Structure 1
Amino acid sequence: MRPREWVFSPLAFKVLWRAADRDVLPYPLQYRSTFETVAEHDEAWKTEANGLHRILDEELYGALRVLAEPEARVEVAGAVNGDRLRVHAALHYQHAVLLEQEPTGSPYRGGTVRMTIFDARRLSHRIVTLLPNAPRGRGPGLEISRFDLEAEDGGVYRLDHDGAARSSLVRAKRFFERPRDLVVHVAAYAGPAWDNRPAPSRGFHVMDYPDGRYLVRNGATLQAVPVDRMGLQIDLERVVRFTVTSHREEHDPSYR
C-alpha cells in the first residue's frame, strides 16, 4: 500500500483521539496544556476540531481505527542523548500506523505528532530505524539467573572453581552502571489499550554503551546480548508476530 502521513499539533491529536472515543493518549505520547485559562484552551480546542473536520477523510478515519482497535500495539519509550523518545505503533492485519512525537524541553510534555499509515510488513523496520544507528556491542554481554540475584539478598553466594565468591549483583552493576547514550524500552501488547492499567507484554530494552549496543531481556534470566540494527529488527519482528498470533487465536474464530 502507499504510505500516507499526517502531522498534528499535540492538541490537535488529543482532539482527534477524543473523536475516536478515547480519553487516554496512546502511550507514551503526552499532552499538557500551556494555556493560561480554561477559556483559551476551549477556544483552541474548537479551532483544532474545525481544522480536523476539514481534513478528515476515509484514509485518516481508517488510520484512526487501526490505532483504536489494533491486533497488537508497540510502545517505545526512553531517552536518546537526553531527549525523550515517544513512539507508538498499532497493527491490524495488513495495516500499521506509527505515531512519532517530537521532544520538547519538558520531560512531561510532548511536541508535534507525526502519524503514518503503511504496510504492516514494514512495521519492525520503521520502528528500529527511529533509533540512532549504533554498532553491535563488542563485549560478551551478560547472563545472570534471577534466582542468583535474589539469593544474594539473603547472603548466599556461589563459588567459582577456585573457591572464590562470585557476586552476580556485582557483575550486573559493573555492566549496567556504565555511562550510556540510549536507554529505550520496547513492549508489544495484544489488542487495544482502554486506559493505563498494566497489561501483559513482551519486549526488551535497548541500551547503548561506549562499546556498542545491547539488547536486554529481563525475565527468569537477566540477559544483555550484543546486537546490531538487523538483529534488533529480527527480534522485534518475532515479538510482534507472537503477539499478533496470540491475539488472533483468542479473538478470531476463523484463525483457529
Structure 2
Amino acid sequence: MTQWTVRGMDFAMLCSRFGRDRLPYPLAVTVDVDTEDQLRRLRREASARIDALVDERLEAAIGVVIDPAVRIECRSDTHALGQSPVRVHAAVTHDLAVVLTQRPGPDCSVTIDTVTPASAPVRIAESVPTVQAGRRAAATLEHPCTATTSSGAILSTATRNATADEKFEAFFARPRSAVGEVIVARGATYDHRRDTDAVSFFWMDFDGDGRYLVRSHASIDVVPADSTRLVAEIGRQLESALRR
C-alpha cells in the first residue's frame, strides 16, 4: 500500500487541517523555540511542506485517523541497550487501516502506513522488540491485598491472603527490560482520556526469562507470548471491537 514519513510538526499541522488540535495517542511532538516569531516561521515551513506532499491518498489516510471505527494505541518503554521506546497508533475501518509509527528523534518524525485492516496487528507488533515467550506457565494471580490509610500509608495484610501476595511479588518483582501497553477502543477520540469501553493489556519482558501478556481485571491473567501470540491477541481484540 502507501507510506509517508513526515516531521512531527508537519503531522501536527496535517491533523489541524482536519480540525484536530491534539495528536492521536500516544504520539507526541515537542517544539523547542524561544519566541513566537520562531514558532510562526516553523509553522509556515511545515504548512508549505504539507502543501507539496498532500494528495487524495494522504487526505484519505488522515480521514481514517480522524474518524476510525476502531483505534489501537501502543506505547512501549524499554531499558534494553540498542532498543528505543516506540509510539504506535492504528486507525481502522472495515476497509482500510492507517498505522502511525513514531520513533525517538529530533524531528519527532511520524511514518504513516496504509494497510489492510487484517494487517494492522502485524504492523503494530513489528514495532515491538522481538523477544521469546516467557518460560513460566500461564497463571492467574490475585491483586496484592493492601489497603491505604487517609494519610496514604500502606497497611499490611499479611494475615490475609499472604500466599497470593507472595505469588504476585515473585512474578512481578523481577527486573524488566521493557514494558508496553496496547489499548483497543472504538470510534474517534478528541482528547487523551481513556474510553470507558476500551480494552487494554500489557506486554512485559523480564530479564533472563521472556515476554508475557498481562491483563488486569478482578484478577491478573499472565500468559507467555512471543510475537505470534502478540499479533493474535491484538487481532482478537480488534475483531471484537469491529463487531460491537
- The corresponding residue for 2:213 is 215
1:125·1:233 contact (CA, 8 Å) conserved in 2? yes
- Is 1:241 aligned to 2:239, yes or no? yes
- Is 1:157 aligned to 2:160, yes or no? yes
- The corresponding residue for 2:98 is 97
C-alpha displacement at 1:50, in angstroms? Answer: 1.4
- The corresponding residue for 1:254 is none
Task: Give distance in 2, aligned partners of 1:42 and 1:67.
Answer: 26
Q: For residues 12-62 of structure 1, what are the alpha-carbon distances to aligned partners after superposition, in whole Å with 9 as ceiling and x for unaligned?
A: 111011111001110111111112211011111011111211221110000
1:4·1:116 contact (CA, 8 Å) conserved in 2? yes
- The corresponding residue for 1:21 is 19
- The corresponding residue for 2:177 is 181
C-alpha displacement at 1:78, in angstroms? Answer: 2.1
1:94·1:121 contact (CA, 8 Å) conserved in 2? no
The residue type equivalent to 1:16 in the other structure is: L
User: Which of 131, 134, 156 is matched with 2:131 structurally?
Assistant: 134
User: Which of 63, 68, 74 is matched with 1:70 structurally?
Assistant: 68
- The corresponding residue for 2:152 is none
1:181·1:208 contact (CA, 8 Å) conserved in 2? yes
Task: Give distance in 1, aligned partners of 2:205 and 2:139.
Answer: 14
- The corresponding residue for 2:42 is 44
Q: For residues 176-197 of structure 1, what are the alpha-carbon distances to aligned partners after superposition, in whole Å with 9 as ceiling and x for unaligned?
A: 1211111000010100111122
Q: For residues 193-244 of structure 1, what are the alpha-carbon distances to aligned partners after superposition, in whole Å with 9 as ceiling and x for unaligned?
A: 1112221211210011121110001111111111111111111111111111
- The corresponding residue for 1:203 is 200
Task: Give runs of ≥4 in structure 1 deviating > 4 Å.
Answer: 150-156
1:76·1:187 contact (CA, 8 Å) conserved in 2? yes
Task: Give distance in 2, aligned partners of 1:196 and 1:184.
Answer: 17
Q: For residues 107-159 of structure 1, what are the alpha-carbon distances to aligned partners after superposition, in whole Å with 9 as ceiling and x for unaligned?
A: xxx7211111111111111111211111111112431234x73689655524x
Q: For residues 84-116 of structure 1, what are the alpha-carbon distances to aligned partners after superposition, in whole Å with 9 as ceiling and x for unaligned?
A: 2211110011100011111148xxxx7211111
Task: Give distance in 1, aligned partners of 2:160 and 2:141.
Answer: 13
Percent identity over the alignment is 27
Structure 2: which 5+ runs fail to align?
148-154
- Is 1:34 aligned to 2:32, yes or no? yes
Task: Give distance in 1, aligned partners of 2:105 and 2:167.
Answer: 36
Equivalent pairs, count: 232
- The corresponding residue for 1:143 is 140
- The corresponding residue for 2:225 is 227
Task: Give distance in 1, aligned partners of 2:159 and 2:238.
Answer: 38
Tell me, what secondary structure is at the counterpart of 2:61? helix
- The corresponding residue for 1:251 is none
The residue type equivalent to 2:130 in the other structure is: N
Give TM-score, length-normalised by structure 2: 0.89
Task: Give distance in 1, aligned partners of 2:227 and 2:56.
Answer: 35
- The corresponding residue for 2:166 is 170
Task: Give distance in 1, aligned partners of 2:219 and 2:180.
Answer: 19
Structure 1: which 5+ runs fail to align?
159-165, 247-256
Task: Give distance in 1, aligned partners of 2:127 and 2:192.
Answer: 24
The residue type equivalent to 2:126 in the other structure is: T
